[in-house]
Structure 1
């Protein structure tokens, strides 16, 4: 699907376009504060950012789009993916709460002494 706007055409990227999407995103976010924090060394940032974006591209619910002659790109996870991710986050919170409760029980046992 291609959409022509007053500025440029937008089309969904296919597998052959993935490297172009990775390249555009890596350049676009090279000086982004979060990318600079995650990858402090500029050389490493340029090398490692595409790996991060590749995981989004390979996600079953991932969608990538290219603008014009590869002047811009975007990657999205569909709403269904967001809902599944939210469920995963809730599951992780449950695991963390369970871990805290287990530590608390262990601390109480240790305070009571052996065999109590």
Structure 2
């Protein structure tokens, strides 16, 4: 996962290739907490992060927002008391792109840093 986290998201257009199924499978194998979900027939990477209070959840959401702005790739973020739900997918191709795996890996690193 660290290899993905060290990469940078690149702008993509409607014709961009979807992420390699093998790479998606490998990502999911190395991170038990991420799930592959389908909504409206669109695959998405999803993870729910747990916190002890709303303030910590909000601070984590803001860190993800900052990272998303830096990468130019933005997730669905749902912030609630004690938890943050993140979903990554690429709107332009209505599928998973390498950017989603990169961003999910970076999200994981942010969580590791705040939970230490």
The TM-score normalised by the length of structure 1 is: 0.24
Could you tell me the TM-score, scaled by structure 2's length?
0.24
More helix by share: 1
Query: Which of the two has higher C-alpha Rg?
Result: 1
